[in-house]
Amino acid sequence: MATNPNTAIDKVDPYTLTADGIKEPPVGWKASFRYLGPGLILSASIVGSGELIATTVLGAQAGFVLLWLVIFSTLVKVAIQVELARWTIATGEPALSGYNKVPPKLGRVGWVNMLWMVLALSKLLQLGGIIGGVAVACSILLPLGGDPFSATSITIWTIFIAVVSIAMLYTNKYSLIERGAVALVVVFSFVTILVALGLPFTPYPYGAAELGTGFSFLIPVGTLGAALAMFGITGVGADEITFYTYWCVEKGYARWAGPNDGSDEWARRANGWIKVMYKDAAVSWLIYTFGTFAFYIMGAAVLNPQNLVPEGNETITVLSRMYTDSIGEWASIVFLIGAIAVLGSTMWASIPSWSRMYTNLLATFGVLDWKDSVKRLRWIKFFTVALPIIWATAYLIIQAPVIMVQIGGVATGIFLVAIVIAVWYLRRNETDHRLYGGRWFNIALSVSSIAIGLLGIYTLLSVFGVEFG
């Protein structure tokens, strides 16, 4: 009987590369399929706040004209994601350990990780908005203590969601996280894509003409802020590119490649597992791109003609109009269940991912030895408890999920520039040249880097009030 790679990797320390952990890489899609997984956790995180909130808000504001940005936003960042994961498979180290090697440093900590801390602070708002979105959806579905938008009902649901999340994820087993992510992604993505494809048969149809205007490569006046936030938050953002490396390690890609002994055999194995990672990233891209596309179309086709733009705690109610106005009032319950699933999937992936990144950051400060699996897991569990509590508190204080999510999106877009710099530094100084991608990948990496750099700098300048044109 074949060993389940998920179960097996839970019994060893995947961050320790030894000769006895070596495994021959599979060849071809069929053999590789059972070794996919990190990208599915990535999809669970991506098909969440960015799609349900940021993308539909942009569709409601701009209509179909920014449809091109959906494709561009999801596609342009993949090469950076893959290149950083390539370094991880080659070295067995996660992203923040690599970021910390990029000079200059302030004491023990590099400038990229210093900037990462700023990103982490902004993400407290974004992830607070996600917990709030789930709480509001649950409150509408089952009000507790009166009106669904009352402080009592929303507070109870917010606390309940935080507690349940902690209880379910406390063990931090890779296999549990992967399976839960897959289930949540499948449920809502399938329903949403079906509804988007069915809109032409409802009172809010769209056709080739509308889709054609979506590829005019224009950004309408008044939508620049939402567009920049969407670029940062949809597809793989700075946080997803970063935590993808942790899941690649915990799946086993680096351990199965083994420690770099300089041999041709090691290079062959590492390249084999990198090819598996390529497939994993490709499947993930298909999932979140179709999901993002569907959400945008629904916002443009249903909300935009009615001048409905989601704001505040009523965001979930407004978004539910995408369903109730297109297929009937009965769909409200279906949407609310789906909203819980899609936002819950982001929480499901984000809590263990951010717990690992915070722990890794502490390791760069010398608080713990990252290679000490006992202390590492202890700190990861600490953050698994602490972060949902902090996020829930942030939401209860602010209670503006759209703004909270968009602030995180803008910060993500800015931090992408730092990631590009780090990726090229690690590629040049640490990645074995025998593992470099081919000519077409290198072209894609260059295009991706330039696009992210320009848009990240533009975002940063816009934040400080610099106007163009």
Helix (H/G/I), strand (E/B), else coil: 197: helix
Q: Give the tokens for residue 467.
A: 């106007």
Other residues' Cβ atoms within 10 Å of the Cβ of residue 29: 12
pLDDT one-digit tens code per residue, 191-230: 667 767 777 777 778 888 888 888 877 777 776 766 666 6
Residue partners of 158: CB distance under 8 A and separation at least 6:
131, 132, 135, 392, 395, 396
Greater confidence (239 vs 276) lies with 276
Helix (H/G/I), strand (E/B), else coil: 310: coil
> Quick one: pLDDT at residue 353?
95
> Quick one: pLDDT at residue 226?
64
pLDDT one-digit tens code per residue, 121-130: 878 877 887 7
- Greatest mean pLDDT among 46-50, 67-71, 385-389, 390-394 lies in 385-389
Gap between the Cα atoms of 192 and 338, Å rounded:
8
Residue with token string 């449920």? 187
Other residues' Cβ atoms within 10 Å of the Cβ of residue 355: 25
Gap between the Cα atoms of 319 and 316, Å rounded:
5
Rounded to the nearest 10 degrees, how much is the dihedral formed by the CA atoms of 12, 16, 18, 20?
10
- Give the type of residue at 412: T
Greater confidence (432 vs 314) lies with 432
Q: Which residues pair with 416 in a beta bridge?
A: none
Query: Per this entry, what is the length of the chain?
Result: 469
421 pLDDT tier (thresholds 50, 70, 90): very high
Express as a percent the part of the chain with pLDDT over 90: 40
Q: What are the φ/ψ torsions at residue 205 (nearest 5 degrees)?
A: -80, 165
Gap between the Cα atoms of 403 and 224, Å rounded:
14
Q: What is the mean pLDDT of residues 20-24?
A: 95
> Quick one: pLDDT at residue 344?
79
Q: Is 240 a residue whose pLDDT tops 80?
A: yes
Q: What are the φ/ψ torsions at residue 218 (nearest 5 degrees)?
A: -120, 155
260 pLDDT tier (thresholds 50, 70, 90): very high
> Quick one: pLDDT at residue 144?
86
Q: Is 468 a residue whose pLDDT tops 60?
A: no
Gap between the Cα atoms of 86 and 90, Å rounded:
6
Q: Is 3 a residue whose pLDDT tops 60?
A: no
Q: Is 312 a residue whose pLDDT tops 60?
A: no
Greater confidence (83 vs 298) lies with 83
Residue 14: how many CA atoms within 13 Å on its side-chain side?
Answer: 28
Residue 25: how many CA atoms within 13 Å on its side-chain side?
Answer: 25
Q: What are the φ/ψ torsions at residue 169 (nearest 5 degrees)?
A: -105, 0
Gap between the Cα atoms of 389 and 162, Å rounded:
6
42-46, 211-215, 336-340, 384-388: least confidently modelled range: 336-340
Specify the DSSP class assigned to residue 355.
H
Q: Are 415 and 116 in contact (CB under 8 A)?
A: yes
Q: What is the mean pLDDT of residues 430-435?
A: 94
Gap between the Cα atoms of 129 and 55, Å rounded:
15
Q: Are 135 and 315 in contact (CB under 8 A)?
A: no
Gap between the Cα atoms of 9 and 254, Å rounded:
11
Residue among 59, 138, 113, 55 nearest 364 (CA) = 113
Query: Domain residues of the chain, as ranges?
Result: 5-463
Helix (H/G/I), strand (E/B), else coil: 110: strand
- Upstream peptide bond of 104 is cis (omega within 30 degrees of 0): yes
Q: What are the φ/ψ torsions at residue 385 (nearest 5 degrees)?
A: -85, -45
pTM, 2 dp:
0.87
Specify the DSSP class assigned to residue 301.
I
Residue partners of 342: CB distance under 8 A and separation at least 6:
47, 48, 51, 52, 184, 188, 189, 192
Q: Give the tokens for residue 333.
A: 């319950």
- Give the type of residue at 16: T
Greater confidence (305 vs 247) lies with 247
> Quick one: pLDDT at residue 464?
61
Q: Give the tokens for residue 368.
A: 């713990």
Q: What is the mean pLDDT of residues 349-364?
A: 95
> Quick one: pLDDT at residue 1?
44
Q: Give the tokens for residue 300.
A: 């443009």
Q: Is 184 a residue whose pLDDT tops 70?
A: yes
- Taking all residues of the chain, what is their mean pLDDT, rounded to a whole number? 83
CATH 1.10.4160.10 for domain 5-463, yes or no, is: yes
The kind and range of the H/E element at 391 are helix 373-398
Q: Are 148 and 309 in contact (CB under 8 A)?
A: no
Q: Give the tokens for residue 111.
A: 């400038």
Q: Is 155 a residue whose pLDDT tops 60?
A: yes
Gap between the Cα atoms of 24 and 30, Å rounded:
15
76 pLDDT tier (thresholds 50, 70, 90): confident
> Quick one: pLDDT at residue 251?
96
Q: Give the tokens for residue 308.
A: 């409905």
Residue with token string 């649901």? 157
Greater confidence (184 vs 265) lies with 265
Torsion sign across C-alpha atoms 227, 116, 356, 110: positive
Gap between the Cα atoms of 420 and 417, Å rounded:
5
Q: Is 26 a residue whose pLDDT tops 80?
A: yes
102-106, 285-289, 387-391, 452-456: least confidently modelled range: 452-456
